[in-house]
């Protein structure tokens, strides 16, 4: 198209993490020509950081496991707000998706009889996470990357950022963005678009997420008219590093607790035994000895309370800190070194099972985890909410626009179980790619939409370049930092009406400031400019989080209200929806849960 | 709070130079923190690549005081701060801007390496059985985070610029991971010896020294590959054997037919180009 470098595809996949790569492979398998764009280099997306594993009921370690148990665990973890059809498909299809990775070259850790080994993780009844030490995400992304590079139907545009979706009527017909190196604009014509852009961590100050997580997919979809769902449910992982300050937020994998790590307060007390929620009492050990046996694979033992769901563990840690029983830098202690009381070669065992954690602490904090406890505290980790999608096809509420992975909502309900994300990427990445390709095959030709695309691209280009023309204005990093602080303090782990209102007012103010940011330099590889462009999406997701959180006047899953500390099934059984109203303002509504079919209901009853 | 001086390379393909920045430093900081601080407060447009800030993605490679390192894993406490700390981009790759280089060559190289090709499944359900011991060996190579620091330091690329005839240590590690994969049945030895340029490596071990993942690139990947190449092409018994029984048949699948090795370079010779 005149003026912009233009590419035409059947399916445009935005994001090259696990979900995007899997979607691209699936779409190409359907015969579609696929364009794959990502903000970083290939293989660097967030998925690379995942540590613990991918949950799939293979039943290799405990043959009592099957999709039904996985389904029930996922629903219980999500406090029953999950899209049950997604939870069902996920539990059923995850094993095949994981095995397929092995056929593509992935090398998971093995059981003694040579099959894929599975490990314990919070909220999963049986050992279920296929893993590779504590670098499962790297194995997964490299396998998908190395598989896709040989696929001639996939063209990759690395270091390219989409800034807007292009529409014709109510359909999505492509996207418009810029490449980092020179800052040139690119126009993608595509019959279908799959968003796989990951999460929103950069809306918070303390997070395990990288710079890429500015909620782009959510912002793009919202601006294109799609509905966002369950935005109040933001997961705080209980164990992030807290010292030294430069690594604050960096994740300490749940695998540490899965291997026997325990939480202690400054008095040396193992406080997790103090408060076990009724819903989990029958599955949880009531003494340390039983908990230890569970981590060592004793099938008759129940799991230690350290492996309860993340929201609960995070709040228990906050409680200890608030009560003055925290560690020097405002966290608590996570101790794996203690297992030397139980195992002869404990130090070597820890280094083999948790190699990245060993190095992370050694190199960044001068702590030897085989000898000393780690100081940890909660860190913003995962977004359960996101783009509302159809369970089977992953299509959003806008025709031609699909979403998969962390940027989509539904599977995890009010709280995600560890390990359910990597399997989510595979199952729903695959589905999104397949259905997007099918949709593209039946979609009308793009020529009729070219005039619309050009007009929208011109406008987007003009808006994107505006920060260069402002001679005097605030820097973009200052606005981003102010937003992170605002959200951390007012929409974090424990929330109140007053704080959430403060957040909302603050966001409105920051939006005004964002309109006046100025950037130095030129368009070539300019992080200041990129940050200025990201602000728009960050502000949309922040507003959506605060809006949905104000409305939910109860505590459920990851959403905890100090002013409404109890779960309230009378008014809480709904999914919250936000979308852009006709006048441009954000609108909120409650969507009642769809009734669950009797057979799924029965599974849940049986597994209680 | 203490201060330090950072001397950071700024510029693009047309030219550039070092620029000095004075920064405030605190406990536990890494070089990437300093770069970010400069970016936020003194030079918004300072170009740098990073993602994870945890040594897991391999994006933030640079040369710190002349040593190839990950910026996110280099603590200030490991550097002498009584003189300026220099930070410059990897020198083996063309410069994009400031600390960012064009590493796309590496992505092209990978496409030329024969893909993974598994043997037929061991079990009726389409799965395989593998021993943890066999897996361990390959897992070492699969730890690679593609930071390309080993490529940066290898003299065959850095000084001799043999980017067309040599794939570099990263891709020997990659090839070794495929060749030693318990399930793989493809044969990449001819490619290694020919277009892979394995003969150019003269085992200086510089690559191993800089690998942030601690992969023993030379001892565990390159040397065994060299040995395999020797066995395959120079062992007379093997050779005879090959004439009568030309290598276990890979399942008919994707990939080009095996190219005949060209007898150009000798894999056993360890002479590097001068
Ligand atoms: C430290 C850590 C450990 C974790 N451990 C586990 C675990 O053990 N098990 C588990 O199940 N889950 C884990 N998770 C969660 C899981 O890793 C993520 O939820 C998951 O990887 C997200 O994958 P994705 O494909 O949705 O997105 P990502 O892998 O984040 O990929 C997003 C992609 O979108 C691209 N993108 C974003 N915006 C744009 C744009 N505007 N234009 C173009 N491209 C764009 C990015 O460049 C990137 O390629 C962990 C997360 C973290 C942070
Ligand atoms: S050992 Fe070989 S590959 Fe490694 S740096 Fe030396 S010459 Fe290069
Ligand atoms: S082998 Fe080591 S140095 Fe080379 S790219 Fe991989 S991780 Fe980096
Ligand atoms: S930022 Fe990922 S390795 Fe340094």
Q: List, for residues A501-555, the tens digit of each pLDDT value.
A: 999 999 999 999 999 999 988 899 898 999 999 999 999 999 999 999 999 999 9
d(CA B19, CA B82): 17
Task: Give domain status of residue B243, yes or no.
Answer: no
The closest alpha carbon to A321, from A311, A332, A310, belongs to A332
Question: What dotted CATH number matches A240-378?
Answer: 3.90.700.10
| Whether residues B222 and B119 fall in one domain | yes
Which of B167, B174, B197, B203 to mutate for ligand 2's pocket (most ligand atoms within 8 Å of CB)?
Answer: B203
Q: Scan residues 114-153 of A and list those with Cβ closer than 8 Å to B.
A: 114-116, 132-133, 135, 137-139, 142, 146-147, 149-150
Instruction: Tell me how far apart the alpha carbons of residues A133 and B138 are, in angstroms, rounded to a whole number.
Output: 13
Give the span between the Cα atoms of B153 and A582, in whole angstroms.
58
- Ligand 1 pocket residue status of A382, Cβ below 6 Å: yes
Question: How far is A532 from A214, CA to CA, in rounded Å?
Answer: 11
**At B250, is the pLDDT very low, low, confident or very high (cuts 50, 70, 90)?**
very low
Query: pLDDT > 70: what percent of chain A?
Result: 100
Return the closest-CA partner of residue B208 out of B150, B267, B146: B150
Are A520 and B44 within 8 A, CB to CB?
Answer: yes
- Which residue has the least CA distance to atom 2 on ligand 2? B201
pLDDT of residue A397: 98
Which residues lie below 8 Å from residue A320, measured CB to CB, with a gap of 6+? A265, A271, A326, A332
Q: Is A211 close to B51, i.e. CB distance below 8 A?
A: yes
Q: Over pLDDT 90: what percentage of chain A?
A: 88
B33 and B150 belong to one structural domain = no
Taking the C-alpha atoms of residue B51 and residue B39, their distance in angstroms, rounded to an integer, is 15
Q: Are residues B76 and B158 in the same domain?
A: no
* pLDDT band, residue A322 (cuts 50/70/90): confident
A17 sits in which H/E element:
none
Whether the predicted pLDDT of A3 surpasses 90: no
CATH number of A457-561: 1.20.58.100
Strand pairing class (A574-580; A586-592): antiparallel
Compute, in angstroms, the gap from residue B172 CA to the centroid of ligand 3: 10
**Which of the residues of A are catalytic?**
237, 257
Q: How far is it, in rounded angstroms, from Cα B251 to Cα B52?
A: 39
B96 occurs within a structural domain: yes
Q: Do B85 and B43 share a structural domain?
A: yes
H or E segment and range at residue A253: none
pLDDT (mean) for B223-228: 96
| Per-residue model confidence as pLDDT tens digits over B48-58 | 999 999 999 99
Mean per-residue pLDDT over chain A, rounded: 95
As a whole number, mean pLDDT of residues A334-347 equals 96
pLDDT at B249 exceeding the cut of 60 = no
Residue A289: pLDDT over 60: yes
Interatomic CA distance for residues A118 and A134, integer angstroms: 12
Task: Using the predicted structure, report yes or no on whether residue A118 has a pLDDT greater than 70.
Answer: yes
Residues B12 and B45 in one domain: yes
Kindly report, residue by residue over A40-83, the tens digit of the pLDDT: 999 999 999 998 899 999 999 999 999 999 999 999 999 999 99
Q: Is the pLDDT of residue B240 over 70?
A: no
Does B274 reside within a domain?
no
Q: Are residues B165 and B181 in the same domain?
A: yes
Q: Which segment of A257-261, A309-313, A390-394, B245-249 scores lowest on mean pLDDT?
A: B245-249
**Which residues are CB-neighbours of A419 under 8 A, at least 6 positions away?**
A52, A53, A54, A55, A121, A124, A128, A129
DSSP A52-97: S-EE----SS-TT--HHHHHHHHHHHTTT-S-HHHHHHHHHHHHHH
Q: Note the pLDDT of residue B130.
A: 97
Domain ranges of chain A: 240-378, 457-561
With respect to residue B20, please indicate whether it lies within any of the assigned structural domains: yes
Least confident of A281-295, A390-404, A534-548, B224-238: B224-238
Residue A255 has pLDDT above 50, yes or no: yes
CA distance linking residue A607 with residue A87, whole number of Å: 15
* Cβ–ligand 3 contact at B213 (below 6 Å): yes
In a domain, B248, yes or no: no
B140 and B97 co-located in one domain: no
User: Are the beta carbons of A422 and A428 closer than 8 angstroms?
Assistant: no
Q: Give me the numbers of helices (H) and strands (E) for chain B, helices first please.
A: 10, 7
Tell me the backbone φ, ψ of residue B22, rounded to 5 degrees: -100, 130
Note the pLDDT tens digit of each residue in A345-372. Answer: 999 999 988 888 998 899 889 999 999 9
**According to the model, what pLDDT value does residue A473 have?**
81
Instruction: Say what the pLDDT of residue B239 is.
Output: 56
- Those residues with Cβ within 8 angstroms of residue A185's Cβ, 6 or more apart along the chain or in another chain: A4, A5, A176, A177, A178, A457, A461, A464
Q: Which of B69, B101, B133 delimits the end of a domain?
A: B101
Predicted pLDDT at B269: 35
Number of domains in chain B: 2
Rounded CA separation A528/A531 (Å): 5
Closest approach of chain B CAs to the CA of A598, in angstroms? 31
In a domain, B153, yes or no: yes
Asked if the model's pLDDT at residue B255 lies above 50, the reply is no
Q: A37 in ligand 1 pocket by Cβ < 6 Å?
A: yes
Query: Which residue's CA lies nearest to atom 4 of ligand 2?
Result: B207
Give me the mean pLDDT over the B53-71 stretch: 96
> Residue B159 belongs to a domain with what CATH number?
1.10.1060.10
Where is pLDDT greater, at A30 or B241?
A: A30
Q: How far apart are CA A444 and CA A192, in angstroms?
A: 11
**What would the mean pLDDT of B235-260 be, rounded to a whole number?**
47
Pick the residue whose CA is nearest to atom 13 on ligand 1: A50
Q: Please state the ipTM of this predicted complex.
A: 0.91
Give the separation between CA A558 and CA A494, rounded to whole angstroms: 9
Question: How confident is the model at residue B27, as a pLDDT?
Answer: 85
Contact assignment for B27 to A244 by CB distance below 8 Å? yes
Q: How many angstroms does the Cα of residue A219 sit away from the middle of ligand 1?
A: 16
In the 8-state DSSP scheme, what is residue A23? H
CB contact under 8 A, A138 and B50: no
Domain encompassing residue B11: 2-101
The region, left, alpha or beta by phi > 0 then psi within -120 to 50, assigned to residue B58 is left
pLDDT digits (tens, 9 = 90+) for A402-435: 999 999 999 999 999 999 999 999 999 999 999 9
CB of B86 within 8 A of CB of B39? no
Pairwise CA distance, residues A77 & A416, whole Å: 6
**Cβ–Cβ contacts within 10 Å for residue A315, how many?**
18
> CATH number, domain at B62?
3.10.20.30
Q: Over the stretch A169-210, which tens digit does the pLDDT of each residue have?
A: 999 999 999 999 999 999 999 999 999 999 999 999 999 988
Query: What's the mean pLDDT when you consider all of chain B?
Result: 87
Residue pair A328/A367 in contact (Cβ under 8 Å)? The answer is no
Residue A207 three-state SS? strand
User: Do B136 and B12 have their domain in common?
Assistant: no
- Quick one: pLDDT band at residue B232, thresholds 50, 70, 90? confident
Q: Report the predicted TM-score, pTM, of the whole model to 2 decimal places.
A: 0.92
CA B212 to ligand 3 centroid distance, Å: 7
């Amino acid at each position: 198209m005149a003026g912009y470098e233009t590419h035409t595809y059947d399916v445009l996949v935005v994001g090259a993490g696990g979900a995007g790569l899997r979607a691209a492979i699936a779409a190409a398998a359907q015969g579609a020509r696929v364009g794959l764009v990502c903000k970083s280099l290939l293989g660097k997306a967030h998925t690379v950081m995942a540590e613990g594993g991918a949950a799939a009921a293979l039943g290799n370690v405990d043959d009592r496991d099957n999709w039904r148990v996985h389904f029930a665990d996922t629903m219980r973890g999500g406090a029953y707000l999950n899209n049950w059809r997604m939870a069902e498909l996920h539990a059923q299809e995850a094993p095949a998706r994981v095995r397929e990775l092995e056929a593509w070259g992935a090398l998971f850790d093995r059981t003694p009889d040579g099959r894929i080994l599975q490990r314990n993780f919070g909220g999963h009844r049986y050992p279920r996470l296929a893993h590779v030490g504590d670098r499962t995400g790297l194995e997964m992304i490299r396998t998908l990357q190395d598989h896709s590079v040989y696929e001639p139907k996939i063209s990759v545009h690395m270091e390219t950022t989409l800034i807007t979706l292009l529409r014709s009527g109510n359909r999505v017909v492509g996207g418009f963005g810029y490449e980092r190196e020179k800052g040139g604009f690119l126009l993608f014509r595509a019959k279908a678009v799959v968003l796989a852009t990951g999460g929103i961590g950069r809306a918070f100050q303390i997070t395990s997420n990288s710079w890429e997580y500015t909620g782009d997919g959510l912002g793009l979809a919202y601006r294109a008219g799609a509905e966002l769902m369950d935005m109040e449910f933001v997961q705080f992982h209980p164990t992030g590093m807290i010292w030294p300050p430069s690594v604050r937020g960096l994740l300490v994998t749940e695998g540490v607790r899965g291997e026997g790590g325990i939480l202690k307060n400054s008095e040396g007390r193992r406080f997790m035994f103090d408060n076990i929620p009724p819903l989990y009492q029958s599955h949880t050990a009531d003494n340390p000895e039983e908990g230890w046996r569970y981590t060592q694979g004793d099938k008759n033992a129940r799991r230690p309370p350290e492996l309860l769901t993340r929201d609960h563990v995070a709040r228990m840690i906050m409680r200890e800190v608030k009560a003055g029983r925290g560690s020097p830098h405002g966290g608590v202690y996570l101790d794996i070194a203690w297992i030397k009381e139980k195992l002869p070669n404990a130090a070597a065992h820890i280094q083999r099972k948790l190699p990245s954690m060993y190095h992370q602490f050694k190199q960044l904090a001068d702590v030897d985890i085989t000898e000393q406890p780690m100081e940890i505290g909660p860190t913003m980790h995962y977004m359960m909410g996101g783009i509302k999608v159809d369970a089977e096809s992953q299509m959003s509420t806008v025709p031609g626009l699909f979403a998969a992975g962390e940027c989509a909502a539904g599977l995890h309900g009010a709280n995600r179980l560890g390990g359910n994300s990597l399997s989510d990427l595979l199952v729903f990445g695959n589905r999104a790619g397949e259905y997007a390709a099918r949709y593209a095959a039946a979609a009308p030709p793009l020529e009729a939409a070219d005039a619309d695309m050009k007009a929208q691209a011109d406008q987007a280009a003009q808006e994107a370049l505006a920060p260069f023309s402002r001679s005097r204005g605030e820097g973009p990093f200052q606005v981003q930092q102010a937003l992170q602080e605002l959200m951390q303090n007012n929409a974090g782990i424990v929330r109140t009406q007053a704080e959430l209102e403060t957040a909302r007012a603050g966001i409105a103010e920051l939006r005004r400031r964002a309109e006046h940011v100025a950037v130095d330099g030129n368009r070539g590889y300019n992080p200041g400019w990129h940050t200025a462009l990201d602000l728009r999406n960050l502000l949309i997701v922040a507003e959506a989080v605060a809006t949905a959180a104000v409305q939910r006047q109860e505590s459920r899953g990851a959403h905890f209200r100090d002013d409404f500390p109890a779960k309230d099934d009378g008014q809480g059984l709904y999914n919250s929806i936000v979308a852009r109203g006709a006048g441009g303002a954000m609108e909120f509504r409650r969507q009642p849960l769809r009734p669950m079919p009797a057979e799924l209901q029965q599974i849940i009853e049986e597994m209680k | 709070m203490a201060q330090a001086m950072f001397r950071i390379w700024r510029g693009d393909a047309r030219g550039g130079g070092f620029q000095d920045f004075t920064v405030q430093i605190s406990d536990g900081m890494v070089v990437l923190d300093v770069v970010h601080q400069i970016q936020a407060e003194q030079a918004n447009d300072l170009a740098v690549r990073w993602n994870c800030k945890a040594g897991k993605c391999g994006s933030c490679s640079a040369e710190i005081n002349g040593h190839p390192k990950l910026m996110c894993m280099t603590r200030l406490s490991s550097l002498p701060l009584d003189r300026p700390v220099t930070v410059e981009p990897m020198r083996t790759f063309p410069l994009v801007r400031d600390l960012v280089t064009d590493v796309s060559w590496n992505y092209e190289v990978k496409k030329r390496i024969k893909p993974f090709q598994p043997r037929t499944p061991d079990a009726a359900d389409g799965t395989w059985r593998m021993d943890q011991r066999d897996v361990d060996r390959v897992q070492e190579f699969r730890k690679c985070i593609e930071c390309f620091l080993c490529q940066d330091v290898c003299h065959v690329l850095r000084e001799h610029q043999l980017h067309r005839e040599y794939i570099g240590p990263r891709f020997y590690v990659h090839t070794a991971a495929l060749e030693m994969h318990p399930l793989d049945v493809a044969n990449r030895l001819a490619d290694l010896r020919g277009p892979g340029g394995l003969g150019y490596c003269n085992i200086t071990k510089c690559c191993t020294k800089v690998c942030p993942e601690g992969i023993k690139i030379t001892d565990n990947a390159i040397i065994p590959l060299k040995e395999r190449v020797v066995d395959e092409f120079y062992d007379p018994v093997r050779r005879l054997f090959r004439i009568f029984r030309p290598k276990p048949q890979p399942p008919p699948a994707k990939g080009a037919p095996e190219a005949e090795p060209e007898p150009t370079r000798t894999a056993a010779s360890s002479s590097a180009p001068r």
